[in-house]
Amino acid sequence: MKPKLTFLLSLPFLFLFGGTVYGSDLQEGWHAYKNNDYKKAYKLWLPLAEQGNVTAQYNLGHMYEKGKGVPQDYKEAVRLYRLSAEQGDVDAQLKLGVSYGMGRGVPKDYALAHMWWNLSGSNGNKEAAENRDIVETKMTPQQIEKAQEMARNWKPKK
CA proximity to 136, closest of 158, 102, 113, 153: 113
Q: Residues near 144 by Cβ (< 8 Å), separated by ≥ 6? A: 111, 114, 136
Global pTM? 0.84
CA 76 to CA 82: how far, in whole Å?
10
Per this entry, what is the length of the chain? Answer: 158
For residue 22, what pLDDT is reported? 54
pLDDT digits (tens, 9 = 90+) for 38-89: 999 999 999 999 999 999 999 999 999 999 999 999 999 999 999 999 999 9
- DSSP letters for 44-79: HHHHHHHTT-HHHHHHHHHHHHHTSSS---HHHHHH
